[in-house]
Structure 1
Amino acid sequence: MPRLPDDDEWLLRERRAIGDRIRVRRLRENMTQEKVFLEARVSRSAYQAVEAGTADARITTLLRIATVLGVHVTDLLHD
């Protein structure tokens, strides 16, 4: 079984990478943050924290965001 790194810096890097992929896709689709969070039915603050990579996202939130952006949720998790 793989071991987790000893520090949590990797979690921050991964959250930021997910947020970056969300932002890139949103901009590619010419959508505002407001359009995404309203259509995804998540709060403004929750959406902004996910896109900024400053908060853990619930799987439901990621699924809703992915649907609005027209991608599969795994596209947000991996390059």
Structure 2
Amino acid sequence: MPSAPPPDDWVLARRRDIGEQIRSVRRAAGLTQERLAERSGIDRQSINRIEQGHAAAYIDNLVRIAYALDVPLADLVR
């Protein structure tokens, strides 16, 4: 099975933007990455990679993060 091509630069930039928004909302809620991990059921390392824009987040994980932060998913991906 052939691998997918690497993402375009604009996709990587958008991934970083989403990660920064998650970090901003998390910090405003007074949560550490560890606490967000516990609340969302996602390991802390994955939270870190998503916030840094180093990993593409599955939609299921974005939904879990939004729920754990008590914000609409749209607020994280604007």
TM-score, with length taken from structure 1: 0.86
Partner of 1:55: 55
Q: 2:66 is aligned with what amino acid?
A: A
Percent of aligned pairs sharing the same letter:
38
Q: How does 1:1-79 map to 2 (within 5 A)?
A: 8-78=8-78
Q: Where do 5+ consecutive residues of structure 2 fail to align?
A: 1-6
Q: 1:55 is aligned with what amino acid?
A: A
Tell me the C-alpha RMSD between the 2 structures.
1.1
Shift of 1:26: 0.6
Shift of 1:34: 0.4
Runs of 4+ in structure 1 off by over 6 angstroms are: none
Q: 1:35 is aligned with what amino acid?
A: R
Shift of 1:38: 1.0
Distance 1:11 1:45 in 2: 21
Distance 1:15 1:26 in 2: 17
Q: Where do 5+ consecutive residues of structure 1 fail to align?
A: 1-6
Partner of 2:4: none
